[in-house]
Amino acid sequence: MAMAAGHLMRCGVIHPRVFPVLHPTTHRVEKIMSRGSRVIRCQVHDSRGFTTVQPKIRKVEEIESTAGQVIQCRAAVAWEAGKPLVIEEVEVAPPKEMEVRLKILYTSLCHTDVYFWEAKGQTPLFPRIFGHEAGGIVESVGEGVTDLAPGDHVLPVFTGECKECAHCKHEESNMCDLLRINTERGVMISDGQSRFSINGEPIYHFLGTSTFSEYTVVHSGCVAKIDPLAPLDKVCVLSCGISTGLGATLNVAKPPKGSTVAIFGLGAVGLAAAEGARIAGASRIIGVDRNPTKFNEAKKFGVTEFVNPMDYDRPVQEVLAEMTGGGVDRSVECTGNVNAMISAFECVHDGWGVAVLVGVPHKEAQFKTHPINFLTERTLKGTFFGNYKPRTDLPLVVEKYMNKELELEKFITHSVPFSEINKAFDYMLKGDGLRCIIHMDG
Ligand SMILES: NC(=O)c1ccc[n+]([C@@H]2O[C@H](COP(=O)([O-])OP(=O)(O)OC[C@H]3O[C@@H](n4cnc5c(N)ncnc54)[C@H](O)[C@@H]3O)[C@@H](O)[C@H]2O)c1
Ligand SMILES: [Zn+2]
Ligand SMILES: [Zn+2]
One digit per residue, pLDDT tens: the chain, 442 residues?
Answer: 334 343 343 333 455 556 666 665 566 666 666 666 666 677 776 667 777 776 665 555 555 578 899 999 999 999 999 999 999 999 999 999 999 999 999 999 999 999 999 999 999 999 999 999 999 999 999 999 999 999 899 999 999 999 999 999 999 999 999 999 999 999 999 999 999 999 999 999 999 999 999 999 999 999 999 999 999 999 999 999 999 999 999 999 999 999 999 999 999 999 999 999 999 999 999 999 999 999 999 999 999 999 999 999 999 999 999 999 999 999 999 999 999 999 999 999 999 999 999 999 999 999 999 999 999 999 999 999 999 999 999 999 999 999 999 999 999 999 999 999 999 999 999 999 999 999 999 8
As beta bridge partners, residue 106 has 135, 439
Alpha helices in 258-331 (DSSP H): 268-280, 294-298, 316-323
Is 435 catalytic? The answer is yes
d(CA 394, CA 153): 13
| Mutational pocket test of ligand 1: of 266, 333, 335, 357, the residue with most ligand atoms within 8 Å of the beta carbon | 335
Task: Assess contact for 261 and 288: CB atoms under 8 A.
Answer: no
Task: Tell me, yes or no, if the pTM score tops 0.75.
Answer: yes
The answer, yes or no, to whether any atom of ligand 1 lies below 6 A from the CB of 140, is no
* The amino acid at 266: L
Q: How far apart are CA 202 and CA 410, in angstroms?
A: 38
Q: Hey, which of 294, 360, 367, 436 would you mutate to test ligand 1's pocket, going by the most ligand atoms within 8 Å of its Cβ?
A: 360
Catalytic residue among 42, 73, 236, 240: 240
Backbone angles phi, psi at 9, to 5 degrees: -60, -40
CB 143 within 8 A of CB 97: yes
> Is residue 299 classed exposed, middle or buried when 0-12, 13-18 and 19+ CB atoms within 10 A define those classes?
exposed
Q: 381: Cβ below 6 Å to ligand 1?
A: no
Q: What residues contact residue 118 under an 8 Å CB cut-off, 6+ apart?
A: 81, 82
Q: Is 110 a catalytic residue?
A: yes
Ligand 1 pocket, residue 290 CB under 6 Å: yes
User: At what angle are helices 421-430 and 111-118 packed, to 10 degrees?
Assistant: 100
- Atom index in ligand 1 nearest the CA of residue 115 equals 43
Q: Which atom of ligand 1 is nearest to the CA of 288?
A: 33
- Regarding the beta carbon of 424 and ligand 1, being less than 6 Å apart is answered no
- 45 is an active site residue: no
Residues 6+ apart with CB under 8 A from 24: 13, 14, 149, 151
- The rounded distance, in Å, linking the Cα atoms of 379 and 315 is 20
Active site includes 195? no
Q: Does 269 contact ligand 1 (Cβ within 6 A)?
A: yes
CA distances from 98 to 160, 194, 212, 222, 279 (A): 13, 15, 22, 10, 37
Dihedral angle of Cα 276, 110, 220, 273, to the nearest 10 degrees: -10
Compute the distance from residue 92 Cα to the ligand 3 centre, in Å.
26
pLDDT computed for residue 176 by the predictor: 98
Do 14 and 46 touch, CB atoms closer than 8 A? no
73 Cβ contact partners less than 8 Å away, ≥ 6 residues apart = 89, 90, 92, 213, 214, 215
**What are the E-state strand segments in 4-96?**
28-35, 38-46, 49-53, 71-77, 86-92
CA–CA dist 161, 6 (Å, integer): 36
Number of C-beta neighbours around residue 231 at 10 A: 15
Distance CA 356, CA 246 (A): 12
User: How close is the Cα of 166 to the center of ligand 3, in Å?
Assistant: 7
Residue 213 near residue 104 (C-beta atoms within 8 A): yes
Return d(Cα 21, Cα 35) in angstroms, integer: 23
Check if the beta carbon of residue 355 is closer than 8 Å to that of residue 329: no
The closest residue, in CA terms, to atom 13 on ligand 1 is: 111
Ligand 1 atom closest to residue 159's alpha carbon, by position in its atom list? 3
331 Cβ below 6 A of ligand 1: no
d(CA 345, CA 335) in angstroms, rounded, equals 13
Q: Half-sphere exposure of residue 282, counting CA atoms within 13 Å on the CB side? A: 30
State the ligand closest to the CA atom of 236: 2
Cis upstream peptide for 256 (omega within 30°): no
pLDDT at residue number 8: 44
- In total, the chain counts a number of residues equal to 442
Tell me if 309 CB under 6 Å of ligand 1. yes
